[in-house]
Amino acid sequence: MANYNVTISASGSGPSFMLWQGSGGTSSGAALALLAGDTVSFKKIGTYSGSFVISGFNTGLWTSGSNLTLTTSYQSRTVKSGGTVGFVDALTATAGNKSQTRYFKVGGVEPDLTITDIEDISRENGSTNHAITIAEGTSTTEYDIRTSSYTGSVVGTRSGNGALTVSNIPSAGNSRDYYVTGRVTAANGGSNSASSILSYSVTHQSPGATTGDGGTGTYGIQVLASNGDIVLDVSDRVVVFADYVSGTLSTSETSKNVTLARAGTAVIDMEPITTPIISGVAQRHKILHTSVSGTTLTIQRTSTSSGGGSAQTAPYKFLVVFDPEA
Amino acid sequence: MGYGFQAFSANGAKQLDSDDSTHILYQKHASGTSNAVSGAASQNFKSIAVTVSGFSAVEDLIFIQPTGSATVQAYVMPGSNGFTIFSDTNVTFYWYVMKKVTSLSDPTSGYGIVLYNAAGDVTFNPDILAARIKGRITGSGAVALSGKSLYGLGTFKYFRISASLTPHRGVIQAWVHIWNAARDQVAFGIRTVSPNGVQASSESGLDDGLYIDTSNATTLILEAPDP
């Protein structure tokens, strides 16, 4: 730990002059770099007898943020641990009608925050983790994965580049944002303070359901074409037409039920939107999704408008087929 | 049912029913092999269009299977004169288009079982392939069958459009079929299909760009020979 001395001299009434002597930069770009535990000691000299104060202690750099009233003896302030490397603080000494400002900053090695983007992830139902890759980072930077925010709980850490399996995932059917921060430990010359880098999302897919074929047996119908290909077999279920529906969701509708001619199982959007992003805006008012239960087809959208736009109608054309089960 | 014909699968699923005018099977209208997708890469799907004579966007079903032996992800968007296949792999695709049997020509072979309903419409044609379901998947799942004969339904549903602040950008995710290299398994799940999600210049732009729908999609898996 280093100690730096600052002496402020002022003399005369008013005073007639004031001078900052010792440590401190004269501009933010020339700020004196300090490390955690370093101290800076301040005292006054000269004949000026009025109030003599140093203000501007920011707790982003110092352990105390209160002003310091100078005396003729040194009084010290200590640099906090965990400050963000590069954070600059301006201290101003004021004596009567005179003042001077000097700059100090959190020193140390800065984390490399220029890692490659991490794509959003979709995980199969039942997963318990997700994997990401840190690329184009630096080996001395510790990359933390956090939940909730850039200051949230750390759920995974990796030094430098490479793969990282994070044993954290949202519950089935939900998404969660993860936040990546970077820091350099004191052992590597850093402040160990975390800096924000980027976020990504993980979606845990809903439970799926798989139904097999028409079963196995030794009786039933098997039809062969002339070339020997099986046209229909006892182990098959068959696709049956249910209905074709077309219409429009009104400007106020985000959901609509349509009664089908017969029960349906699977729905095919016959005119899905092919340009889902226009001018940087997801066309969510045009992106439709469906569910079918018996003869009720439910058509839904997440919004009646794109971001900031007015409500719009949404035409639809859906083909519904039926998968007969026993 | 006082007369007529019914057939059931081994586990009791109704296949044919001459007495139910709404039980209209899907059978083969056309089949073929597409041109190869080009320029595709992982998480960056590219497309190839297929034009089908007599295609009807109000009833026709599309089923596809990739050729070759790579693991392939793909989905289909129907169109007015056919369909477009999107894939992460530069391969050709076998395809089938199925129509309601009532929209197809009558059988001509002169043998086999032909089924009619009370109106005299053919409701089963023994000359052409029926849409033979080997599995149905709602949400994530997989269907396996020995051999290379599994086809996935041509259906499409967006799952998520994400947004990131510039210089990063979001992605587009959708429900896709995933064939294994042996072609004896087809899975269904959510994958990133495009790296061209929203690139936002502000926090509000992030909100505008985002879309997500966590509801499950449903697909059908068919068995069919090579076209």
Chain A CB contacts of B172 under 8 Å are: 276-277
The pLDDT of residue B163 is 86
- Of the candidates A114, A108, A119, which has an alpha carbon nearest to the alpha carbon of residue A137? A114
Q: Which of A84-93, A200-209, B39-48 has the lowest mean pLDDT?
A: A200-209
pLDDT tens figures, A22-63: 999 999 999 999 988 999 999 999 999 898 999 999 999 999
A269 touches chain B (CB under 8 A): yes
Other C-beta atoms closer than 10 Å to the C-beta of B98 total: 30
The DSSP-derived string for chain B is --SS-EEE-TTS-EEEETT-TT--BEEEEEEEEPPPP-S-BTTB-EEEEEE-TT--TTT-EEEEEE-SSS-EEEEEEE-SSEEEEEESS---EEEEEEEEGGGSPPP-SS-S--EE-TTS-EEE-TTS-B-EEEEEEESSEEEE-SSS-EEEE----EEEE-EEETTS---EEEEEEEE-TTSSEEEEEEEEEES--EEESSHHHHHHH-EE--PPPEEEEEE----
* Residue among A196, A213, A290 with most chain B CBs within 10 A, to mutate: A213
Question: How much is the mean pLDDT over chain A?
Answer: 92
Q: Are A262 and A322 in contact (CB under 8 A)?
A: yes
Single out the residue of A235, A230, A201, A198 nearest to residue A215, CA to CA: A235
| A205, A221, A324 ranked by CB distance to B13: nearest | A324
pLDDT for B205 equals 79
Write the pLDDT tens digit of every residue in B148-181.
899 999 999 999 898 888 888 889 999 999 999 9
Query: Residue B101 — φ and ψ, nearest 5°?
Result: -60, -25
User: How much of chain A exceeds pLDDT 90, in percent?
Assistant: 73
Kindly report, residue by residue over A303-320, the tens digit of the pLDDT: 999 876 899 999 999 999
What chain A residue is nearest to B219 in terms of C-alpha separation?
Answer: A266
**pLDDT for res A119:** 78
Cβ proximity of A202 and A123 under 8 Å: yes
Q: Which residue of A198, A199, A211, A302 to mutate against B (max B Cβ within 10 Å)?
A: A211
Cα–Cα distance for residue pair B109/A309, rounded to 1 Å: 59
How many Å lie between the alpha carbon of A299 and the closest alpha carbon of chain B? Answer: 12
Position B184 scores a pLDDT of 92
CATH number of this structure's domain A3-106? 2.60.40
pLDDT-based confidence at residue A14 (cuts at 50, 70, 90): confident
What is the DSSP secondary-structure string of A201-218? Answer: EEEEPPPPEEE--S---S
**How far B132 CA sits from the closest chain A CA (Å)?**
5
Delimit the CATH 2.60.40 region(s) of chain A. 3-106, 121-204
**Which candidate in B80, B212, B218 is best for mutational testing of the A interface (most A CBs within 10 A)?**
B218
The topology (CATH level 3) of A121-204 is: Immunoglobulin-like (2.60.40)
Nearest-by-Cβ selection for A231 from B128, B195, B216: B128
pLDDT value of residue A60: 94
pLDDT at B1 over 80: no
Give me chain B's average pLDDT, please.
Answer: 92
Best of A116, A117, A120 to mutate (most B CBs within 10 Å, chain B): A120
Q: Do A268 and B161 make contact, defined as CB atoms within 8 angstroms?
A: no
CA dihedral of B19, B24, B30, B32, whole degrees rounded to 10: -110
Q: Going by C-beta distance under 8 Å and a sequence separation of 6 or more, which residues neighbour residue A319? A: A243, A244, A267, A268, A270, B58, B59, B61
B103-143 pLDDT tens trace: 999 999 888 889 988 888 899 999 999 999 999 999 888 99
- Residues in A touching B7 (Cβ below 8 Å): 220-221, 232
Q: Do B78 and A236 touch (CB under 8 A)?
A: no
Given a cut of 80, is residue B20 above it in pLDDT?
yes
User: What's the pLDDT score for residue A291?
Assistant: 93
Average pLDDT, integer, range A155-178: 94
Whole-number pLDDT of residue A193: 86
Task: For residue B219, list chain A residues with Cβ-Cβ distance below 8 A.
Answer: 266
Q: How far apart are the first and last CA of chain B?
A: 37
What mean pLDDT comes out for the span A57-81?
95
Q: What is the ipTM of this complex?
A: 0.95
The answer to whether A177 contacts chain B (CB < 8 Å) is no
Would an 8 Å CB–CB cutoff place B211 in contact with chain A?
yes
CB contact under 8 A, B61 and A319: yes
Q: Do B10 and A205 touch (CB under 8 A)?
A: no
pLDDT of residue B87: 98
Percent of chain A scored above 70 by pLDDT? 100
Q: How confident is the model at residue A236 (pLDDT cuts 50, 70, 90)?
A: very high
What is residue B201's predicted lDDT score, i.e. its pLDDT? 86
Name which residue leads in pLDDT, B212 or A162: A162
Residue B188 at interface with chain A, using a CB cutoff of 8 Å: yes
Which positions 130-159 of B are in contact with A (Cβ < 8 Å)? 130-143, 145, 153-159
A22 touches chain B (CB under 8 A): no
A164: left (phi over 0), alpha (psi -120 to 50) or beta: beta
- DSSP labels, A291-317: EEETTEEEEE-S-SSSTT-----EEEE
What's the pLDDT score for residue B84? 97
- Summarize pLDDT for A241-289 with one digit per residue, the tens: 999 999 999 999 999 999 999 999 999 999 999 999 998 888 999 999 9
With an 8 Å Cβ cutoff, is A311 touching chain B? no
B169/B163 Cα distance (integer angstroms): 6
* B204 touching chain A per CB within 8 A: yes
Question: Residue B2 above 70 pLDDT?
Answer: no
Q: Which residue of A has its CA nearest to B199?
A: A280
Asked whether the whole model's pTM tops 0.80, one would answer no
The string over B12-32, giving b where at least 16 C-beta atoms fall within 10 Å of a residue's C-beta and e elsewhere, is ebbbbbbebeebbbbbbbbbe
| CA of B39 vs chain A CAs: smallest distance (Å) | 19
Q: Are B160 and A124 in contact (CB < 8 Å)?
A: no
Q: How far apart are CA B193 and CA B170, in angstroms?
A: 11
If you average pLDDT over residues A172-192, what whole number do you get?
89
Amino acid identity for residue B18 in this structure = S
- Residue in A156, A159, A152 with CA at minimum distance from that of residue A184: A159
